[in-house]
Amino acid sequence: MTVTEAVTTQAGRASRSARLPTPRRKPRALVNGYRWWIPWLFLTPTIVAVAVFLIVPLFAGLFIAFTDWNVVSGIEGIRWVGAANFQELIGDPKFWSSLGRTLFYAGVGTPLTVAVGVALGIALNRPMPARGLLRAIFFLPSLVNTVAAGTVWLLLLHPTSGLVNDTLRAIGLSEPPKWFVSQEWALPAIVLMSVWIGAGYVAVLVIAALQDMPEELYEAATLDGAGALRKFTTVTLPGLVPMLTFLLITSFIGRSQSFGLIQFMTSGGPGESTTVLSYYMYEVGFHSYRFGYAAAIGVMSMLGVLVMSVALFRLQRGRGLYT
Amino acid sequence: MSTEIIEAPLVSPRAGYLRRKRRERVVWWLTGLIMAMIAMLFLTPFLWMVSSSLKNNVDIFEIPLRWIPDPMVWSNYISVWFGERSMVRYFSNSTIVVIATIIGQLVVVTLAGYAFGQLKFKGQHVLFLAFLATSMVPGQLLLVPRFMFFRQIGLYDTLWALILPGLASVFSTFLLRQHFASAPRELGEAARIDGASEWRIFFHIYLPLARPMLAALAILIFDATWNDYESALIMITDESKFTIPLGLTRFMSEDGTVSLGPALAGSVSSLIPVLIVFLIFQRQFMHSMSRAGLR
Amino acid sequence: MVSNNTRISRRGLLIGGLGLAATTTLLAACGPTEGTGGKPAATDKGTEDEGTLVVWGGVAPEMGPQALIDAFMKKYPKIKVEYVRFVNNAEGILKLDTALQGGVPIDVFFSYGTVDVARRSAAGLALDLTKLAGKDDQFKSFVQKKPISTLVDGKLFSIPTSMYPNYVALNEDALDKAGIDVPFDWTIDDYHKVAKAMKKAGFDVGAYNAPKPFPATLGGDYLYKDGGKKSNFDHPSYEDELDLVLAMEDDGSIFTQERITAEGIGGYAQNYFLNGTFGMMIDGNNVIRYAKNLNEYPHDFRVTFRPYPAPRAGQPYFNPGVRGDDVQISAKTQYPGAAWTFVKFWMGEGADHMTTAGKVSPDQFANPSEKMYENLFGPDRDKLFDVDAFDKTFFTDEPPMSVRAITTAYTEISTLKSQIEGEVRLRTKSVSDGIAELIQKSDEAIAKAS
């Protein structure tokens, strides 16, 4: 029974036409002015691509997390072990320490990169000579490949002959950190390097957002007698919040999966000090050939990131300029 | 400043103006200087890269660090570009993959961004969030299953294996969705009343508005795809299909040693196109990222 | 709310449909692939002289394999061979594994290291070559009573194509200038003394690495005792080894771990040797591969060679080097006959081509040819290398090379060992603490893997 029929029968017959016509519900087909399947049509390529290249492998990966598989033994070698991998994970000290390191890397590295990027972005938004070139230079690190960047930074952070420690000693620090050679400083060194890589990227996006900010707000603030700092905290920063949230979340996600850099520079060491979750997953999977266990780590990693992202998102709600 | 024939008395505002202008100029230069110094810090690794690429392998790790190579050799570049297995092949493969990915991704992502941003349909928020969530899947989890899957459907060891997975980018879809969401609805509604088809509305009204954003995205996609190593390593076997990052691995021998000089020459060479693209489209890039109006 | 319900269920249908499609595709993707591993190729589509082969190796084609294959195809015109190079890092190795298991057509492949051989053989990806080798004079030695290479379950699944004894490469010019004489029958203590002398003579550090009494005393399975049930790190020679390394770091005989980590020297040791940072290093034929490349590594000194130093004078010991570059035939090959012909060629006449990359086959080892010398040392042979010393060092059966038979948790134990050794060398852990931790964690890993 269609809607129109239902309405007509319910309301009775002859009397209907005499009264004001009740707002007829549009035929469902054209609720928004177009058929319901139009948006889905637009989404088809995305859905297909995601389903084929993401959902299917994802399900396979999830499945593998409940098995004990070493790939080499083929399909027949897949043995279901239920939650054994996850149980083992919970009791695995290396899992928890890698998790901690990942949180450090992502939780410290991301805000740091974004902060530096914002500072750079604001600075680069001011008039100065060769501004375009300078912007390009800051953006450059995000383009360079791991081998080159990694080798250079190893040399820069060389404990005895590296530029950084030379400078630190020049300004009075007699015992500068040993960076990649020490277990306390290796991960912070990687964080530093990731800031170098990411800050320019953030800066570029921040510049774009700044250029979009309405001038009137600044003028109004000036009229209210706000100094530079005030203007920053009440206009600039809130205006950047949406962009920053986006950046924070995507960077956080990216970092918790980041792996190539660490593999090249420290291979998880010295000792275990740079073994983050993604590297541990790699070790377990590609070195020990325990893909079931590795997949379990992947699942936990995914869940962790999901939780953090939701938290970050909730945190920023209501703090933006336009919300 | 030309000398004024009509000498006006030095009224304070004018003097103040001059003083301010001069101060602004000083600030202009000063800011530039400071930023340039910081930029040098950012630039140092590249300088090292270029410098080392002009050295013989033996000299690269010489301590103390020599910025100007002595001897300066071009042999690394020559062997990389003109030697056996020149990089030309890898460059062309990378270019093909990148262009196809850019075009393909822009098509897919624009359609989806429009649907999420301008059109209304039931469950679009949940679906969008779910889509966002897919970006949280660690790449390594997918690597082995994807490999086996591609084997099954016969796309293994083809450039398609590198192009197709990149089509439904969450990042790009998000940006476009924001962009379309901030475009005025009235345009579409007016057109609808006039009886235009949905496709026309999309293609002729909203798509042109997104052009600057698409240009900006093209740069980002270029950047991301050009340097991709892991998936190429697993998916491509035939050396004639190598992309640049894979091509650089041939300087790694089976015992793990690396011939750094040529590898760096290759890296520097591969950086140049990206740099050029960015420099050219830089203004447009900034311009349209601002239009993203992430609100 | 009829309409709403329908809407939801329509969306639900869509999502459910997607899930269904995903699962079916997944099942299809994971469905049985062509053939199962373990069973030998049922039929031979070709013969010993006819077929199409795909060979996967880790050596770059221009370093020898392509020349070998061209010569092979000339000799056997009815066998077509295609060489595919894979990068010998963890991803590349995995790629080969998945390719083998996933039915990518591969007929012959190389495994670099006992662990890979063991894993692939145990998974049934390699053909059992025991019978074939037993029938063939060229390969009989591999299936004799006392194994000279890795056997899996007592069967031969791989044939090591190269001999890789470890030896010491020294900067002859520096030795001459400093008046240091290095005998051929020297001990580890002598090595230490020479390194100190080299440091005094002006090198940054005397040598790159320290000799290892642990494998030198015990042989191929030095990491294990009780037949592989426990780890062997409580053997006194291991403590000696660690003490030696620390002592050599302290007096500038070798690089400190700090410097190695700080500069990422790992894959570039040859750079430092050839640019005069240190004067000697323990390696194998790879050193020659770089030293002869004057284009990328110009240098003007001559390299001389000495055997691996003995832990104790006069007592028998092992060369820690093993036979390597194991060739294996895929269990799924459709041309086993042609594949075997190829393997024989690689080990036989083809071996000269691989010597460019520093590979010396067992046959060449027994009968070195002029061509082999040419390929191994390149055009500037006498200028760059003390070939006499090389002969005395390399072409000898004493000390015997190591043979690895046990591979239980080998990768995990190796990783633990280098991690903890790194910490000991960085002085963040004492030798005794390090050894204790190593024993405990290795035994755990062995227990888990059994």
Residue with tokens 């755990």: C444
Which 3 state secondary structure label does DSSP give A158?
A: coil
Residues of A in contact with C261 (CB under 8 A): 180-181, 266, 269-270
- Same-domain check for residues A214 and A300: yes
Answer yes or no: do B58 and C112 touch at CB < 8 A. no
Binding partners of B (≥3 Cβ pairs within 8 A): A, C
Mean pLDDT of C162-167: 93
Residue C155 has pLDDT above 60, yes or no: yes
Task: Give C17's pLDDT tier (boundaries 50, 70, 90).
Answer: very low
The pLDDT of B153-170, averaged and rounded, is 86
The answer on pLDDT for B126 being more than 50 is: yes
In this structure, are A16 and A164 located in the same domain?
no
Q: Is residue A57 part of a domain?
A: no
- Given this model, what pLDDT does residue C115 score? 87
Q: Please tell me the distance from the alpha carbon of residue C111 to that of residue C119, in angstroms, as a whole number.
A: 10
Domain count, chain A: 2
Residue A25 and residue A110 in one domain: no
Interface predicted TM-score (ipTM):
0.76
B25 three-class SS: helix
Q: State residue A317's pLDDT score.
A: 66
List the single residue in C with minimal CA-CA distance to A88.
Answer: C448
Length of chain C, please? 450
Q: Is residue A47 part of a domain?
A: no
> CA A187, CA A182: separation in Å to the nearest integer?
9
Residue C27, pLDDT score: 43
B123 interfaces chain C, CB cutoff of 8 Å:
yes
Task: Determine whether A228 is exposed, middle or buried from the number of CB atoms within 10 Å of its CB (0-12, 13-18, 19+).
Answer: exposed
Write the secondary structure of chain C as one string of H (helix), E (strand) and C (coil): CHHHHHHHHHHHHHHHHHHHHHHHHHHHHCCCCCCCCCCCCCCCCCECCEEEEEEEECCCHHHCHHHHHHHHHHHCCCEEEEEEECCCCHHHHHHHHHHHHCCCCCCEEEECCHHHHHHHHHCCCECCCHHHHHHCHHHHHHHCCCCCCCCECCECCCEEEEECCCEEEEEHHHHHHHCCCCCCCCEHHHHHHHHHHHHHHCCCEEECCCCCHHHHHHCCCCCEEHHHCEECCCCHHHHHHHHHHHHHHHCCCECCHHHHHHHCHHHHHHHHHHCCCEEEEEECCHHHHHHCCCCCCCCCCCEEEEECCECCCCCCCCEEEEEEEEEEEECCCCCHHHHHHHHHHHHCCCHHHHHHHCCCCHHHHHCCCHHHHHHHHCCCHHHHECHHHHHHHHCCCCCCEECCCCCCCHHHHHHHHHHHHHHHHCCCCCHHHHHHHHHHHHHHHHHHHC
Q: What is the pLDDT of residue A152?
A: 75
pLDDT of residue A31: 64
Q: How far apart are CA A112 and CA A106, in angstroms?
A: 10
Rounded to the nearest angstrom, the minimum Cα separation between C16 and chain A is 12
Q: CB of C274 within 8 Å of any CB in chain B?
A: yes
pLDDT band per the 50, 70, 90 thresholds, residue C177: very high
- Residue B288 has a pLDDT of 62
Q: What is the tens place of the pLDDT at every residue in C35-51?
A: 333 444 457 888 888 88
Task: Give C99's contacts in chain B (Cβ within 8 Å).
Answer: 237
User: What confidence category does residue B223 fall into, taking pLDDT thresholds of 50, 70 and 90?
Assistant: confident
Paired residues of C81 in beta bridges: C53
A14/A145 same-domain check = no
- C51-163+323-377: which CATH topology? D-Maltodextrin-Binding Protein; domain 2 (3.40.190)
Chain B residue with minimal CA distance to A32? B120
Kindly report, residue by residue over C245-264, the tens digit of the pLDDT. Answer: 999 999 999 999 888 887 77
State which residue of chain C sits closest to B149, comparing Cα positions.
Answer: C29
- End-to-end distance of chain C based on CA atoms, in angstroms? 62
- Give how far B219 is from chain C: nearest CA, Å: 29
pTM of the model: 0.80
In this predicted structure, what is the pLDDT of residue B142? Answer: 83
Mean pLDDT value across residues C80-100: 86
Phi, psi (deg, nearest 5) at residue A80 = -75, 130
User: Tokens for B9?
Assistant: 């008395």
* Statement: residue C174 has pLDDT above 80: yes
A10 and A131 part of one domain: no
Residue A241: both structure tokens together: 């919040």
| Cβ-based burial of A315 (10 A; exposed 0-12, middle 13-18, buried ≥19) | exposed
Q: Which H or E element spans position A80? A: strand A79-80
Q: Which domain holds residue A19?
A: 1-34
pLDDT in tens, A19-64: 566 666 555 556 677 778 888 889 999 999 998 888 888 888 888 8
| pLDDT value of residue A28 | 52
Low-confidence ranges of chain A (pLDDT < 50): 1-14, 16, 323
| Average of per-residue pLDDT across C132-147 | 87
**What's the CATH code of the domain at A229?**
1.10.3720.10
Find the CB nearest B254 among C88, C295, C299.
C88
For residue A29, the model assigns a pLDDT of 54
pLDDT score of C42: 53
Cis peptide preceding A270, ω within 30 of 0: yes
Residues in Cβ contact with A131 at an 8 Å cutoff, skipping those fewer than 6 apart = A124, B32
Residue type for C180, please? I
Question: Beta strand pairing status for C319-329 and C205-207?
Answer: unpaired
**What is the distance in angstroms between the Cα of B32 and the nearest Cα belonging to chain C?**
34
Q: Does B273 touch chain A (CB under 8 A)?
A: no
- C327: confidence class by pLDDT, cuts 50, 70, 90: very high
Task: Return the CATH class of domain C167-320+394-449.
Answer: alpha beta
Q: Are B177 and B117 in contact (CB under 8 A)?
A: yes
Amino acid at position C12, single letter: G
The single-letter code of the amino acid at A173 is L
Higher local confidence (pLDDT), C31 or A80: A80
Question: Which among B183, B225, B226 has a CA at the least distance from the CA of B205?
Answer: B183
Are A20 and A89 within one domain? Answer: no
Tell me the C-alpha distance between C115 and C410, whole Å: 7
Matching residue, tokens 């390594």: B140
Tell me, yes or no, whether A127 lies in a domain: yes
When CB atoms are compared, the residue of B31, B141, B267 closest to A128 is B31
How far is Cα C178 from Cα B181, in angstroms, rounded to an integer?
Answer: 78
pLDDT band at C32 (very low <50, low <70, confident <90, very high): very low
H-helix or E-strand containing B125? helix B124-133
> pLDDT value at position A26?
54
Q: What is the pLDDT of residue C163?
A: 92
My answer on whether A10 and A105 are in the same domain is no
Chain C touching partners, 3 or more CB pairs below 8 A:
A, B
Question: Is C29–B59 a contact, with Cβ atoms under 8 angstroms apart?
Answer: no
**Unique residue bearing structure tokens 């630190």:** A168
For chain A, percent of residues with pLDDT exceeding 70? 85
Is B164 within 8 Å of A132 when comparing Cβ atoms? no
CA dist C65 and C72 (Å) reads: 10
* Distance from C-alpha of C78 to C-alpha of B75, rounded to nearest angstrom: 40
Please state the rounded mean pLDDT for residues C60-76: 92
Structure tokens at C175: 């030795």
- CATH 3.40.190.10 in chain C is located at 51-163+323-377, 167-320+394-449
Residue A253 lies in a domain: yes
pLDDT higher than threshold 80 for residue B150: yes
pLDDT for position C22: 42
pLDDT exceeds cutoff 50 at C295 = yes
Q: How far, CA to CA in Å, does B271 sit from each of B222, B288, C69, C304?
A: 12, 24, 36, 41
